[in-house]
Structure 1
């Protein structure tokens, strides 16, 4: 029998002692030596995590899948790895925004990423960078690829929030000079029923966000569990008027980037968006009065979503890796027709075809990869376009190329 909620057991008890039995069961779960207690008081009790058999099993399954994801990730060539991590960032941002009704396209986020990286290399004027939509959000997500640390102060959390919602929030919904909101907020469902009231007043928000910081650094709780419990707690506190969902999901990716791999941490928003009903139900289950703030079912559901993200990654990476493994054979067959530099260009373009969201080969990037001048790289691309029909130019400024259908077929990429 699956691990039942306290609420379910209460309604299943038809005796006259069900209130007493319910309290005894709650105390039994709280006092169990395997239970992780947070000391954080919510409306209906102390937030805690029991560790039933189901949780141990799901954790083991997640760690097994994670080993497979990590092995596939480490096996990627550097070019493919860089292209794939950018693709994951694009999806993570777009899906997280979409859940909150914020429209952003992959192309917009791609442009923002390009501008942030160009600025870091000193090749971008600050004025242009400042007027690029979602540039602060792009900069924030790029930090996830560089072993970032969790926020250490309430000011750090506010700074993260400002970056997440930049260019995508009504100024009237910003807290202003205060760190968090000062007024009350309620969350309603599509029928207008109130399903959650955020913590208030502001002093209570600050107190509970300080507890959030302590929970995020609690070394007595396994990091995977504390990350998921923190995600619930952030949503429960609801510290801002708007943008809580996007900020909470970024903080979740940030927290999970330590116990899990980068690709897994950057794949959750898409899975959450595809399973919104289960995701929101997990919050509701923990908040229900008769469940007394038990976070076990929330953690179980989030582990299930992590598992879906891992399975999708494994299937995608294995399929693309198989195509990449056979590429050398295809290039060997073309050696008599193509120069070594042309073969190297096709190898690069194939990685872009498989791992880049737009399947594009940019002249600037290719010249760096080949370690040749741009005119030399352009000449190589021209030969592949005009003489062999394997590539085509799809943009003049900036110069961008893609494999043609002939190129896709001859390199064995059809259907991948």
Structure 2
């Protein structure tokens, strides 16, 4: 029996004592992040906001196996927020996910409605021509199943409630989301509410596609409402790093209405996401200072390589930047690449580890010290 077939559904139970310490940690870390972000200058804040939201847009899509173009997503986000300097073109998928993430950020404190979810689904499915129902709950008579991609013996990981129940199920979900908000009839702590919102929604699986992306957006909306401001928490960024663990946790918790283990997993993921968000703010601040320090001191090849290194984010190139990487990025000869890299080390832009063919280069930033 699936979770929605259990006696008592949709009432989900858990041991709140196991979340108490995690809730306290969340409030402390969220406060520290909010304080750190307030110290960022207004001009830099817009740039960081675009960076953080675009990363979430890219990663929430990557969790579902969709690889999007970063520049197109950022171009569309800058348009959404009315920021200057937006030039280029965004294909439908990039435009759609950027539109949803911008709407989530701007209206995170607004009540949740069916219309909100329909709009998000239309955005996420922008350009999709294979679905029968976009911007509405599914209505097809076939079972809604999540299956493996094995061709000969596909395994059913989950089967959702039949489409005929969608209107009632989603009316119940929205009523629950409203009642458990900070000003609702039965408010819940931050982590419990976000975790339940995610699991409850994906167990209903109301849309033909896009349920995972919308569930993660709902978790972030829930956190924002509990914090009283948009969260910018790197939830999708963190989940994508351990995607198999995320899907395994969902699979372990889709047959019982007792969901303590899911909530502990999700709460710990949110705490890790907060740490990642704080680290990325530090990274973006260091990036701004780096460019201030080296403006006008790098040649065109070096600037191109540095830009490419920053695009890799906190993790950087796996194993560090090699001379071969530099040649691939800049199309420079080996001799020129060697001179350029040595010059970057002398200027303090890069640090160097290893020797000979094991030589690797790293951005010279405090949080990346090696």
TM-score with structure 2 setting the length:
0.69
Return the match for 1:174 from 132, 142, 156: 132
Rounded to whole Å, the distance in 2 between the matches of 1:150 and 1:182 is 31
- State whether structure 2 residue 165 is matched by structure 1 residue 216: no
When residues 106 and 205 of structure 1 are mapped into structure 2, their CA distance, relative to the original with a 3 A threshold, is same
The equivalent of 2:226 in structure 1 is 259
In 1, Cα distance between the equivalents of 2:196 and 2:50? 28
Q: What secondary structure does 1:255 align onto?
A: helix
Give the distance between the partners of 1:293 and 1:113, measured in 2 at CA: 38
CA distance in 2: counterparts of 1:223 and 1:150, whole angstroms: 18
Question: Residue 415 of structure 1: which of 353, 357, 364 is its match?
Answer: 364
Counting only pairs closer than 5 Å after superposition, residues 42-53 of structure 1 correspond to structure 2 as 42-46=4-8, 47-53=11-17
Q: Distance in 2 between matches of 1:312 and 1:100?
A: 21
Give the drift of 1:55.
0.9
Matches of 1:317 and 1:176, distance apart in 2: 36
Classify 1:264/1:131 alpha carbon distance in 2 versus 1 (closer, same or farther; 3 Å). Answer: closer
- Assess, with a 3 A threshold, how the Cα gap between structure 1 residues 318 and 110 changes in structure 2: closer, same or farther: closer
**Unaligned ranges ≥5, structure 1:** 1-40, 332-337, 343-348, 360-393, 395-403
Per-residue Cα deviation, 1:300-355 (whole angstroms, up to 9, x for no partner): 11111111111222334345556878999x69xxxxxx9xxx9xxxxxx9xx98xx
Kindly state the Cα deviation for residue 263 of structure 1 after the two structures are TM-superposed: 7.7
Task: Trace 1:66-81 onto structure 2 (pairs within 5 A).
Answer: 66-81=30-45
Distance, in Å, in 2 between the alignment partners of 1:58 and 1:278 is 19
Distance verdict in 2 for CA 1:147–1:187, change over 3 Å: closer
- Matched with 1:298 is 262
Residue 407 of structure 1: CA displacement?
A: 9.1
1:32 alignment partner in structure 2:
none
Matches of 1:130 and 1:82, distance apart in 2: 20
Give the superposition deviation at 1:179: 3.5
Q: Are residue 197 (structure 1) and residue 159 (structure 2) matched?
A: yes
Whether contact under 8 Å (2:52, 2:232) holds in the other structure is no
Please give the secondary structure, in 1, of the residue aligned with 2:158: strand
Report if aligned partners of 2:122, 2:134 keep a CA contact under 8 Å in 1.
no
Alpha-carbon distance, 1:293 to partner: 0.7
User: 1:90/1:326 Cα in 2 relative to 1: closer, same or farther (>3 Å)?
Assistant: closer
What is the 5 A alignment of 1:237-316? 237-260=204-227, 265-288=232-255, 292-316=256-280
Residue deviations 1:280-316 (CA, integer Å, cap 9, x gap): 232223223xxx3112222111111111111222334
Aligned residues: 305
Separation in 2 of the partners of 1:71 and 1:412?
29
Q: SS state of the match for residue 215, structure 1?
A: helix
Shift of 1:227: 2.5
What aligned pairs does 1:324-335 form with structure 2 within 5 A after superposition?
Answer: none
- Distance in 1 (alpha carbons) for counterparts of 2:348 and 2:311: 19
1:108–1:133 Cα contact (<8 Å) kept: no
Name which of 18, 24, 28 aligns with 1:60.
24
**Larger Rg computed on CA atoms:** 1
State how far apart, in whole Å, the 1-side matches of 2:284 and 2:131 are.
Answer: 43
SS of match in other structure, 1:258: helix
The equivalent residue for 2:72 is 108
Q: Which residue of 2 aligns with 1:188?
A: 147
User: Which consecutive unaligned segments of at least 5 residues does structure 2 have?
Assistant: 297-302, 314-329, 331-339, 351-362, 366-370
- After TM superposition, the score normalised by the length of structure 1 is 0.62
Task: Classify 1:321/1:196 alpha carbon distance in 2 versus 1 (closer, same or farther; 3 Å).
Answer: same
Alpha-carbon RMSD across the aligned residues, in angstroms, is: 3.9
CA contact (8 A) 1:173 1:241 kept: yes
In structure 1, the residue matched to 2:337 is none
Query: Given the alignment, which residue of 193, 200, 211 partners 1:233?
Result: 200
Three-state SS of the structure 2 residue aligned to 1:155 is helix
Where do residues 379-398 of structure 1 align in structure 2 (5 Å cutoff)?
none
Q: CA deviation at 1:262?
A: 6.8
With 300-309 and 51-60 compared, the bigger mean Cα shift is at: 51-60
Q: Is 1:89–1:266's contact at 8 Å kept on the other side of the alignment?
A: no
Residue pairs, 1:14-29, within 5 angstroms = none
Question: Following TM superposition, by how much is the alpha carbon of 1:259 offset from its aligned partner in structure 2, in angstroms?
Answer: 2.4
Query: Offset of 1:132 from its aligned partner?
Result: 5.5
Does structure 2 retain, via aligned residues, the 8 Å contact 1:188–1:196? yes
Identify the residue that residue 364 of structure 1 maps to in structure 2.
none
